[in-house]
Amino acid sequence: MEVDILEFRVPVENNKTLFVWDIQPSLTEAQIYDGLFAVFSSFGPLYLLKVSPNAPLHPPGFYALIKFYSAAQASKAQRLTDGRPLFQSSPLKVRLSSKQTPHFPSSSSQHLSHNRCLELANHCLGFNGWTSDIVTLKDLASEDDDDDDDEVEEEGGVTRRRLRFGCLMQVSFPQHRQTSRGAAVLEESFTCTGPDVAAVVLQRRCKLQRLVRERALVQAFSAVLLILLGDGKVMVEVKRPPDQFVADHADEVLQVNEFPAREDEIEDDEWDLTVS
């Protein structure tokens, strides 16, 4: 029986990356994306699918980059799609990459984003296959600053504030009797002016609380292994005890300088088209 292991980490290995070319120019990028996604997502969850037009010196048309979480699924997809027309009238070329994309230097340990963790868990386990709970969410700035140092009035009516939150999250897999915990601490310092200081602080607090919850959940997922069995079943294992994981990460503080958009991780702006 074939067994494949998925981690909640950015897939950077060459045996998880497919390149597709000889895509006809008669279709739009949106139509090509939909066609490729329909075909390749049937083999397993995709981390990335990106379509781009050919370089100016090449014949008109498109090529695509597809990243799987699973090497076995990428290999199967390559074997069963190479040389077939799929969604167009002429055959496509589909190859496994033989070289890591330089855009990912030594990032094999990079965690998936919060949104990607949810997508992968829902795809493999279903929406009812796992749950997440806040074990604790604390305002650490108010605990650290007994004298209310986190609010300082400066000249010109400028107020400087410091926010610091810690969160402990637990992700549970009831059918597999497994749990994993993750901890995160986020801090932000900022200044605000005008009559709406309270509203600005409240908005920042809400955003920072959301971010610290998401970061803690990502940490919890980072210790989880999804074991895909050949018969389509999925098993869940946790790489280390929850208490040990929390102890390893509870003291790490991430300084937030600005709030990112709802993250969609690394994009490949320049592709290495070396293939096997």
Q: Are 214 and 254 in contact (CB under 8 A)?
A: no
Mean pLDDT confidence for 26-39: 94
Pairing of β 224-229 and β 151-153: unpaired
In angstroms, rounded to a whole number, what is the distance separating the alpha carbons of residues 123 and 169? 21
Lowest mean pLDDT, pick from 6-20, 86-100, 116-130: 86-100
228 vs 154, higher pLDDT: 228
> Which residues constitute the domain of residue 16?
11-96
Task: Look at residue 5 and tell me if it is in a domain.
Answer: no
Q: pLDDT band for position 254 (50/70/90)?
A: low
- 92 & 118 share domain: no
Please, what is the angle between helix 29-40 and helix 71-81, to 10°? 110
Which pTM was predicted?
0.79
The reply to whether 273 falls in a domain is: no
By CB neighbour count within 10 A (0-12 exposed, 13-18 middle, 19+ buried), where does 181 fall? buried
Q: What is the mean pLDDT of residues 15-23?
A: 93
Same domain, 122 and 49: no
Last residue of a domain, one of 96, 128, 158: 96
Q: Does the pLDDT at position 16 exceed 70?
A: yes
CA-to-CA dists, residue 33 to 14, 25, 59, 216, 269, angstroms: 21, 13, 19, 33, 17
What is the number of structural domains in the chain? 2
* Percentage of residues in the chain having pLDDT higher than 90: 55
User: Do 233 and 141 share a structural domain?
Assistant: yes
User: For the segment 170-186, what is each residue's pLDDT rounded down to a tens digit?
Assistant: 999 999 999 999 999 99
Any idea what the CATH number is for the domain that residue 90 is in? 3.30.70.330
Per-residue pLDDT tens over the stretch 107-164: 445 899 999 999 999 999 998 999 999 999 998 876 655 544 455 555 566 778 888 9
Whether residue 186 is found in the same domain as residue 213? yes
